[in-house]
Amino acid sequence: MALMTGNEYIESLRKLKLKVYMFGKEVENPVDDPILRPSVNSLRMTYDVAQIPEHQEVMTTISPITGERVNRFTHIHESTQDLINKVKMQRLLGQKTASCFQRCVGMDAFNAVYSTTFEIDEKHGTSYRENFRRFLSMCQEKDLAVDGAMTDPKGDRSLPPHKQPDPDMYLRVVERRPDGIVVRGAKAHQTGMCNCHEVLVMPTVAMSPEDRDYAVSFSVPTDADGIYIIIGRQSCDTRKLENSSLDVGNVEFGGVEALVVFDDVFVPNDRIFMNGETEFATMLVERFSGYHRQSYGGCKVGVGDVLIGATALVADYNGVPKASHVKDKIIEMIHLNETMYSCGIACSAEGTKTPSGSYLIDLLLANVCKQNVTRFPYEIARLAEDIAGGFVVTAPSEADLHGEFTGPWVNKYLMGNAAVSTENRLRILRLIETICMGTASVGYLTESLHGAGSPQAQRVMIARQGNLEHKKELAKTIAHIDSKH
């Protein structure tokens, strides 16, 4: 079985014995919990859409490892076309869910670890690549969802891992045994961990030889002994408990983030992909970050498509679709959205082959892509709120809309275009609210800012990849300046 259906995915989650905590209590049934279920539905779309023939090219491909058709989320990029199809797939899924569909981090981790293990083995004679190929083959054959885990809590960020007052602020090896290692620490901001079958762990910063215990990469099942998942809060999350599809905004789909604790988790030798090779931590971090920064040129653009559509609808419902300033603002939203997409496609088209045979995006353009993503969604959201008007944050509840006493007043005074029901106007306002300020804003705005590293992290990489000295030489040549003087 190389491709699961959405139903099969849901049933596979039920077999996991995850330890999930929310609001101070253990969640007995994470799959059906009303707060968590929208995030399950979002990831499920990565399976459902892969079953649709018209989307087969972008959602699936033939694996050179198994020889079978596999979900692109488990694939190693073999060409620039693979990189381009990845971005197209992410935009499509963003359009389908208007939320974070959570499977991108694992895909980007696959590709970063695949090429890095090849180069570690070349230098040290280790067998990490073969370990990883076996793990990857299993994920492809079973169509598993994998959480990529990179971000450590970091503690005092002025100090490297080995100098932290609490050594667990970065995930580390606490015991090396003949049959494997034992790790302790945590990974923060973990997108979709409670909806995944496996977790693929990577280091999060460049490291010195003194940080040897922290230079570790491995995989374990998400329900392994010692793993605890603590769900992060989202704005308006408890609205999902109120039995109101209108007030939730995006009732079917959503994202989820978590703090994941690794409390002395055992990792067998055949699941280890890095174990103390500190000089390769930078390579792994930069490659993963580059792939993930490319990803934002697809997924956030798809969500932006939905937000632009909602904004155009609310202009219709407010009766101002022909106002020149409204049309101009919507054009600007489209311009910003397509600029992000262009960057995602550009860094893919300019990708190059790594020594392992897989393809890596152009790192400079990937970081430019993500730098734009840290800014443009905020402007798109601002314009959406501008056009939507004040009711996007002051509208009464669905209970008031249908209340015996309040209903007639709400229906009367919140009517816009008489051809559109008050309820439909409120529904589109709530969708805009959800994307810009509610539960979906985590996966659209805040994730656009901090996902795959902070804005400053991209600027560091842009400075490193920008080849400024070459640009100086170009100017000297044009200006007839002799470099020797």
**Cα–Cα distance, 192 to 99 (Å, whole number):** 12
| Sheet with strand 180-187: strands edge to edge | 25-26, 20-22, 227-231, 258-268, 180-187, 172-177
Nearest to 360, CA basis, from 142, 93, 108 = 108
Q: Which residues contact 67 (CB under 8 A, 6 or more apart)?
A: none
Active site residues: 100, 104, 191, 257, 292, 296, 299, 447
Q: Which residues contact 395 (CB under 8 A, 6 or more apart)?
A: 414, 426, 429, 430
Under DSSP, the state recorded for 251 is S
145: amino acid identity, one letter: A
Place of tokens 């209970």: 399
**Cα–Cα distance, 207 to 152 (Å, whole number):** 13
**Cα–Cα distance, 398 to 38 (Å, whole number):** 20
**Cα–Cα distance, 273 to 181 (Å, whole number):** 12
3-state SS, residue 180: strand
Residue 271 has, within 13 A of its CA and on its CB side, a CA count of: 20
Phi, psi of 360 (to 5 degrees): -110, 140
Nearest to 126, CA basis, from 217, 196, 189, 65 = 217
**Cα–Cα distance, 431 to 251 (Å, whole number):** 9
**H/E segment holding residue 261:** strand 258-268
